[in-house]
Amino acid sequence: MTLNKRKSLKGYNQTIKKNSINEKISKDLYKDLFIEALEGIVFWSGNGKIVKVNEAACRIFECSKDELVTKNLKEFVYSKSSKFLKIVNQLFEMGSIRDELDFLMPNGQIKSLEFTAKLNSVDGYHMTIFRNVTDRHQMEKELRESELKFRKVFEEALEGMILWNEKYEVVDINQVGMSMLHLPGGKSLIGQSIVQIIEDFNVNKEELYHHFKNVRNNGHATGVLQINLSSDRKINIEFSAKHNVFSKLSLISFKDITEKLEMEEKLKKSDTLSVVGELAAGIAHEIRNPMTALKGFIQLLEDSIQENHSMYFNIISSELERIDSIINEFLILAKPQAVKFIRKDITEIMKETVDFLNAQAMLHNVQIQTFFDKELPFIFCEPNQMKKVFINLIKNAIEVMPKGGMITVIMESTTDQTLHISIRDEGAGISKDKIKKLGQPFFTTKEKGTGLGLMVTYKIIEEHKGSIIVESEMGVGSIFHIYLPF
C-alpha cells in the first residue's frame, strides 16, 4: 500500500471515529435535554400542529404522546384573546418570545404555563418549552390575599401595632399606635430603632431590655409598661410581642389600660370604703353615747377645777373635741350625707377658711399667701363640705412645717370649664409610693394622724365630680391640685 493511501485510510478512520463520537454526544444530549428534561418540550409545524413532545410535556398537557401529536397547540389555548394574538404576531416578527398564557387541559383543568418559543429551531420545526407555574401563581395569590388580610387587620385593629425586623428597625406602625403614643404621622418612624423609640418615653430601661430579651430567647413576651407622653401625661401600656411572626418580622401589639387600672383602683377603693363605712357606723354609734356623758360631766366639773389642775382639764377637753371630730368624720364615711348643692362663690369659702386658720398658722410660724383670679365663676357645691376640704388640706400643710414656712393658695379658671385650686407647702415632701396611697382608709404620713381627714377630703371632691392630683418633691414640698367643674 502506498504512503498516500495509508494516510488517506488513516484520515478516513479518524473521520468515522469522530462522527461516531459526535453521534454519541448528540444522543446523550438528546437524552438529557429533551427526553429527561423537567420542562415540557413541544416541536410544532408552521400551522401549530404538534409533531414531537417529551414526557414532561405529556404530564403538563395531561395527554399521552400519541394523543398529543394528533393535536394543534391552538386547541389548548384557553382564550384566544388580544394577548394571545399579540404573542403570535410578536413571535413571527421577532422569531422568539417568552410569556405566559392560560391553557385548557382535556380534563377541564386550567393551567398557567410559562413558555419560551423559537421559530425554525430544529429541521424547520418550531420549538416551545413549557413550565407549569399554576402552583406558583396560586401561592402568590394566597400570599397576596394573606398580606391583604394582615394589612386590613393591621390598619383596622383597635390596638396599636408595630412591626420590626431583625435589626430592631421599625418596618411599619398602624394609625392607632401612632395616635396612642402621640407620634408624628406619615412614615417618619420607618427605619428607626424600636428600642430607642420606646426609650424616649422614659420607661424603665432595665425592664424594657428584659422584655426584648424574652422576645428574642423565648419567642414572645407580655407585660405592662408605664410611659411618659410628650404631653407630660403618664399612661400604662399592656403589650404582647411575638418574634418572627412572618418573613423574619416581629410584631408588638399594645393598648392603653390606664382607665381600666384607674377603674379597678376605684372599685377596690369603693369596696374598702363600704367596709370602712359599716365599721364606722358601728364605732360612731358605740362611742358617741359615752362621749356625750363624758362631755356633760366634764362641763359640770369645770367650775370646781382647781387652778393647778386647769391644764389637765384643758387637755381632757381638747382630746374629747378631737374624738368628737373623728366620730364626725366616721359618720361622713358611714352613710351618704343629705347635702344640698347651691351655686356659691368658692373664693368666699376659701377666704373664710384662711381667716379661720390664720391664728393657728401664726402659732407655728407659718404664713399663708393667696392668689385668686378676678371674677372666678361660681360653682355648684355644698359650702360646708368644701370648707372642710380646705381646712383639712391647709391644716395638713401647717402641720408638715414644724419649723415654719409658707403656704401658697392659688385659685384660677382653666380653658376646659374647670376651676383649679392649688395648695402648696414647704414641708419635707411625700415619696412617690406614698402619694399613691393618699386617701386610702387609715393611711397617713403624720405620726399622730388617722388618715380619715384626707379620706373624707377625697370623698367630698369625688362627690363634687372633681379630682385631686398630688405633686411632691422630697425636701422641697408638696402641692395638692383640686379640679372642680363649673
Please write the tens of the pLDDT for every residue from 17-67: 434 434 544 555 656 677 878 899 999 988 899 998 999 999 999 999 999
Q: Dig out the grid coordinates for 51 from the structure.
A: 409533531
pLDDT at 245: 82
Alpha-carbon distance 246 to 237, whole Å?
Answer: 24
- Assess whether the region 17-132 and the region 139-256 belong to the same CATH fold: yes
- The CATH number that domain 17-132 falls under is 3.30.450.20
pLDDT at 481: 94
Q: pLDDT tens across 96-155, in order? A: 999 999 999 999 899 999 999 999 888 888 999 999 998 888 888 877 777 777 777 777
Instruction: Report helix, strand or coil for 420.
Output: strand
pLDDT at 332: 65
Q: CB atoms < 10 A from the CB of 447, how many?
A: 6
pLDDT at 7: 47
Beta strands in 279-400 (DSSP E): 342-344, 366-372, 379-381
Alpha-carbon distance 291 to 324, whole Å?
Answer: 8
CATH number of 261-334: 3.40.1160.10, 3.50.50.60, 1.20.1250.20, 1.10.287.130?
Answer: 1.10.287.130
Q: Which parts of the chain sit beneath pLDDT 70?
A: 1-32, 185-187, 231-232, 269-286, 302-303, 305-309, 329-339, 441-443, 445-451
Q: Which of 424, 404, 397, 407 is nearest to 482 (CA)?
A: 424
pLDDT at 174: 86
CATH 3.40.640.10 fits 342-485, yes or no: no
Interior angle at CA 451, CA 447 and CA 452, nearest 5: 140
- The CATH number that domain 139-256 falls under is 3.30.450.20
The whole-model pTM stands at 0.45
Distances (CA, A) of 237 to 71, 200, 261, 428: 68, 15, 11, 32
pLDDT at 2: 52
Instruction: Report helix, strand or coil for 187.
Output: coil
Alpha-carbon distance 340 to 9, whole Å?
Answer: 134
Alpha-carbon distance 414 to 265, whole Å?
Answer: 27
User: What distance lies between CA 384 and its chain's CA centroid?
Assistant: 44
Taking the CA of residue 38 as centre, how many other CA atoms within 13 Å lie in the half-sphere pointing to its CB? 3
The domain limits of the chain are 17-132, 139-256, 261-334, 342-485
